[in-house]
Amino acid sequence: MPVVQVSLIQGYSSALKQQLCERLTEAVSASIAADPDAITIFLHEVTADGYMRGGRSRQPGSARAVPEEPLQTAPESLVRDFLAAMEARELERASSLLADDFVMRFPGSPPMTRLTELVEWARGRYRHVGKRIHALDCCDKGDYTVVVCHGELHGEWPDGTPFDGVRFIDRFELRDGKLARQEVWNDLALASP
């Protein structure tokens, strides 16, 4: 049964401490294959005047913003919301989830920065496409979060013929609560008539 103990200077929010405990649990579980229910995390807090480094009192470092929704699902929810808006062609709603420097790349496409570019590029490839999501995997990389989404595409070719069961993988990078990058891989070229 792994036990992790962390000392923090007082001043961090309950939400941030909860996020830290969840991420430490995930890191231990991934590193030593321990069941998360068997992992114990203790956070010990010390007062700022009870801590010194280099002979000087220190203040806690600034915390990143913590989303108000459940912590483990915030990045996945953002990706699901974006994909649902795109499938419904609600481009304004989908655009509101993008960072100012957002870039996306699809098989055979140049890098695109606006959703209208994607819609125009895809116009001759299919009439409609939807995604059946099998799984979303999330990984924090420090200053950004990666969400990998995979499943199957379904829809209609330009002539109206339906297609289904086409594999896809989308890799998203999220920074500051917005989608910054989308890389897409799929088997549409292999499935086309």
**CATH code where residue 149 lies:** 3.10.450.50
**Quick check: is 186 in a domain?**
yes
Alpha helix (H) residue ranges in 33-110: 74-87, 91-95
Q: Are residues 163 and 104 in the same domain?
A: yes
pTM of whole model > 0.75? no
DSSP annotation of 125 reads: T
CA distance 190 to 192: 6
Residue 27 confidence (pLDDT): 76
| pLDDT tens, residue by residue, 6-39 | 888 888 888 888 888 887 877 777 678 777 788 8
CA distance 11 to 18: 14
CA distance 97 to 175: 11
Instruction: Name the E strands within 124-177.
Output: 128-140, 145-156, 162-175
Q: Are residues 111 and 44 in the same domain?
A: no
**Quick check: is 65 in a domain?**
no
Q: Are residues 116 and 27 in the same domain?
A: no
Q: Are residues 126 and 174 in the same domain?
A: yes
Q: Are residues 84 and 41 in the same domain?
A: no
Q: Are residues 11 and 75 in the same domain?
A: no
Q: Are residues 32 and 87 in the same domain?
A: no
| pLDDT tens, residue by residue, 55-111 | 887 776 766 555 554 444 578 889 999 999 999 999 999 999 999 999 999 998 999
Residue 30 confidence (pLDDT): 67
The number of distinct structural domains making up the chain is 2
**Quick check: is 64 in a domain?**
no
124-161 burial: b if 16+ Cβ within 10 Å, else e? ebbeebebebeebebeeeeeebebebbbbbebebeeee
Find the domain containing 10 and state its range: 3-57
| pLDDT tens, residue by residue, 153-168 | 999 999 999 999 999 9
Q: Are residues 79 and 107 in the same domain?
A: yes
Q: Are residues 52 and 116 in the same domain?
A: no
For the domain that residue 33 is a member of, what is the CATH number?
3.30.429.10
Q: Are residues 30 and 104 in the same domain?
A: no
